[in-house]
Amino acid sequence: MNFLITGAAGFLGSSLANHLAREGHQVRGLDDLSTGDPKSLAPDVHFTRGDVSDRPKLWTLLQEVDVVYHLAARVSVPESVLYPRDYNNVNVGGAVALMEAMRDVGVRRVVLASSGAVYGDLGNQPLKESVTPNPRSPYAVSKLAAEYYVRTIGGLWGIETLSLRIFNAYGPGQHLPASHPPVVPHYLKQALRGGTLVAHGDGNQTRDYVYVDDVVSALVAAATAPNLNGLTLNVGSGKETSIRELVKVVKDATGSDAEVLFNSQISSGVSRLCADLTLATQKLNYKPSISLSEGLRLTLNRDPRFK
């Protein structure tokens, strides 16, 4: 098959692109390299640097494409609080521009990478796709808005759409910005260097940490599985892990005795977050297979930054 992946040089995008290329598919990648690294892509991925809102460039890249994976986005929750307009422009405007270009060229299926963050702070866990989202950040709002735009435009123009709400993905190659880094690689780095593991709040807040290979398996299945049009599916591990538990697993994986500091002055975000995978199992035969402890071991072994 022929694929276009936006955000192809990013953490999830490069993992997906390289997997599809190994399977013998034709893969085109687009990324503005604001956070991505083109060196993470295999040589047989046809990479183009550019903006996802550049419709003339999209018209060229979309020729003869069977399925588009739309992964291009800004993804930092704290950053989105500071720059909500930027998150709206990229995450919402980029999705709309892509859908317009797909309509113009005649591409018939798109898979949107959304986020478990759209749920916000809801009581009962695990979270089913049928609950009403309660987004708590501009990032989460932008992802939910993109879902609605993609599904609505797809319905109007005859494009098959699927939104995957991906929970806290981690694994080798995850971007580690200087400010607001993702918690898993940040904790691994701190533990290995003998630094302090800082937990926001009391550390009892939970998240659903899913290894990158499991996410890629769901994305791959989404390209060809039948009867998906207009759906939204959760992609996670289905396991609820507190920050305190994550600290313990990180220390075990690294053999570290790093000090842990709980900072009650910084918000811990939503209190609980865990994916109900019933629908993804039914529709994609999605069965995550990598535990958190195994995923951390694989990350340490496969990511040269942790050697």
What distance in Å separates the CA atoms of residue 171 and residue 174, rounded to the nearest whole number? Answer: 6
Q: Which one of the listed residues 139, 149, 170, 211 is annotated catalytic?
A: 139
Nearest of 165, 201, 160 to residue 183 by alpha carbon: 201
What distance in Å separates the CA atoms of residue 143 and residue 108, rounded to the nearest whole number? Answer: 21
Q: Terminal CA-to-CA distance of the chain, rounded, Å?
A: 36
CA distances from 87 to 206, 207, 219 (A): 25, 23, 23
What distance in Å separates the CA atoms of residue 90 and residue 197, rounded to the nearest whole number? Answer: 32
What distance in Å separates the CA atoms of residue 72 and residue 90, rounded to the nearest whole number? Answer: 8
Q: Could you tell me which residues are beta bridge partners of residue 197?
A: 260
Contact 224, 160 (CB under 8 A): no
Residue type, 33: L
CA distances from 94 to 46, 87, 143, 150, 203 (A): 21, 10, 11, 11, 35
Residue type, 265: Q
What distance in Å separates the CA atoms of residue 240 and residue 125, rounded to the nearest whole number? Answer: 9
286 is catalytic: no
Give the up-direction half-sphere exposure of residue 126: CA atoms within 13 A in the CB hemisphere: 20
Residues with catalytic function = 139
